[in-house]
Structure 1
C-alpha cells in the first residue's frame, strides 16, 4: 500500500485500489463523529479551508463545510457573486489572493473541464486543492461516498457485484468518478445504460457492458445508480420528452423488481422525481440516497484529514 501523502484530490482516475481503500477505511473510522460532536476538533485546529464554488451546490458545499468544522478547521465560504471575479479577476488570481491570507486548502467547483487541475498547477507547494466537481470531468468525493455506501451494504469485496449506472452518462462527472472507482476496486460487472444520445465513447466505458434497454440491463443487478437528467439536454434535442424518458429510463418499482431482491438504489441528487426515478423507489426500502448524503460528510472529513492532517 502506498504511504505517500496526497497533496491534491483532483480525480479518482489512477489513484489505485489501495489508496481508495485507505480513504474509505478512514471515512468508516470517522463516521461515528461525522454527524455531530466535538471529539475531533483537534485534528485540523489552526488550519483554514476555503469553499471556492464557481457553480451552485447544496450537498457538496454544505458537507465540505461541516466536514472541515467537525475536524476543527476554520472555514471560509467564498461568495463568487460578490467578489472581484465579477470585475474580471481570473480564478487563479482569486486563489492566489486568498492563499496570501493563509488558506491551507481550497475546495473548488467549476463549470469548465480541467479547471481545478489548472488551479492546482498554479498554487503554492503548501496549498492543497480538492475537486468538488469540474465540468463533466470528475467529482472524486462523490465517487468515494458512493463507494462507501456500497461497501456498507455489500461488503468490501466488489469483485462479485453487478453495478448498473443509468442515465446521462455522457455529461456526468459523477458517473466518470464512479466508473473510475469501481474499476480500481475490482468490480467485474459494470453496466452502463441510457439513450444513445447520452452515452459516452468507449474510452469512458472501457470494460463496461453498455446498452439502451433498461429492462434488460437491470436484470440481476446488486446496485442501481441513477443519474440526474440535465433538462437542458431536452432543449438540445438529445431527449425527445421528459415523459418518454421516464417511460424508457425511469426507475419504477416494476423495473427495480428485475434486480436482485436486496439491490440498493442510489442517486447523487438533486433528483428529478418522475423523470429518472419514481417516488415509490426514491422513498422506498431499497433506497440508500439519504445514506449517500450522510456519508458525504465522513468521506470529506477523510479526504481533508489525508491532505491536511499529517
Structure 2
C-alpha cells in the first residue's frame, strides 16, 4: 500500500477531513446498520490489533464488535498505564505488531501529538480511538450520525456542549466536524474548564439547554482539585443537567453524552433514559460507524 493510500485509509482526526469524506462514512454506517445479518465477512483474512494504552471498555468493545461483524481476526492489546511510561515503548509496540503482520491498528493513547508521528512511521492504516485531549474521531462520527438520524440534516442545528471542554477530545472532534456541515456549536463550562485553544462562543447554562442538541461531557472532578467546581454537588448545581433544568428543553431537543456517565453529577440519573435522551442509541450507533471506518481502512 502506498504512503498516500495508507494516509487516506487512516483516521487520525476529523479536523483535516472534509465534509464529503465524513458524509461517506456516515452513509456507509447507515448501510451497515440496515443489514439484518450480524456477520458480513467482508474483512475475512484481515488482522486487526486494538492497542489501548489508555483504558476504555466501551470504545474497545464497540470496535471489537464492529471488527468481528466484518469477519476480521482481532487481537487486543491493553497496557496498564504504568507499563508504558516512555513514549518509545508505545511506538515499539505498534512497530512490533506491524512486523508480525497486522493489516490495521486501532490505537488509544494519552500523549498528545504522538499519534501523527507513529502513523508517519508505520505502513498500515491507523485509527484513532482517542488521543490525549486532542481528538476522538469515531465518537464524534457516531454523534453526528445520531444527530443526522434525529434531524435529517446537520445544517443550522444548534448544538451546545456542556462541561469540561478543556480536557475533552470529544468536544474538539465534534466542534471541528459539526462546523463543516453548517451546525452552530456553543460551549458552556466553568472558567476552570474552558479551552483557550478553541474559538467557539461560551454561553450560560440557561442558554445552553435551549439548543436542539444538549451534549453533556463527562467531568473528572479530580482534575480540578483547586477549583470551586471540585465537588459533585457544586458542579451539578452549576452545570449539571438536572430534572428541573430538563423541563426547559425544547420538545424536539435531544440529550447526548459520550459516556461513561457520572450519574447525578453532569446529568441526573432519571434523565439517562429519558424519552429525549439518546445516550444508549449513541452507543448502538457506534458499531455501524466503526464498521464503516474499519472497512474504509481495510478494503
| 2:12 is equivalent to residue 15 of structure 1 | no
TM-score by length of structure 1 reads 0.89
Could you say what secondary structure the match of 1:119 adopts?
Answer: helix
Alpha-carbon separation, structure 1, partners of 2:105 and 2:82: 16
Name the counterpart of 2:185: 190
Alpha-carbon shift at residue 255 of structure 1 (Å): 1.6
> Is the CA contact (8 Å cut-off) linking 2:141 and 2:289 kept in structure 1?
yes
TM-score, normalised via structure 2 length: 0.93
Tell me if structure 2 keeps the 8 A contact 1:233–1:239.
no
1:284 maps to 2:274 = yes
Q: Is 1:73 equivalent to 2:34 in the alignment?
A: no
Deviation at 1:198? 0.5
Q: Shift of the alpha carbon at 1:191?
A: 1.4
Residue 114 of structure 2 corresponds to which residue in structure 1? 115
Q: Which runs of 5+ in 1 are unaligned?
A: none
- Map 1:166-245 onto structure 2 (within 5 A): 166-187=162-183, 189-201=184-196, 203-204=197-198, 206=199, 208-211=200-203, 213-219=204-210, 221-237=211-227, 239-245=229-235
| Residues in 1 aligned to 2:182 and 2:281: alpha-carbon distance in whole angstroms | 23
Match of 2:239 among 230, 249, 257: 249
Does structure 1 conserve the Cα–Cα contact (< 8 Å) formed by 2:54 and 2:81?
A: no
Q: 1:238: Cα distance to partner? A: 6.2
For residues 131-186 of structure 1, give each alpha carbon's deviation from its aligned partner in whole angstroms, at most 9, with x where no partner exists.
0001000000000000000111111x212211110000010001101111110111
Mapping 1:96-115, distance limit 5 Å: 96-115=95-114
Aligned CA distance change for structure 1 residues 98 and 131 (closer, same or farther; 3 Å): same
SS class of match (1:68): helix
Gaps of 5+ in 2: none
Q: 1:258 and 2:264 equivalent?
A: no
- 1:233 to partner: Cα distance: 2.2
- 2:51 is equivalent to residue 30 of structure 1: no
Query: Aligned equivalents of 1:88 and 1:263: distance in 2?
Result: 43
CA contact (8 A) 1:50 1:105 kept: yes
- Structure 1 pair 31–171 and aligned structure 2 pair: CA distance change class (3 A): same
2:29 & 2:252 partners in 1: Cα distance? Answer: 24
* Number of the residue aligned with 2:94: 95
Structure 1 segments of 4+ aligned residues over 3 angstroms from their partners: 81-89
Do the aligned partners of 1:54 and 1:109 also contact (CA within 8 Å) in 2?
yes
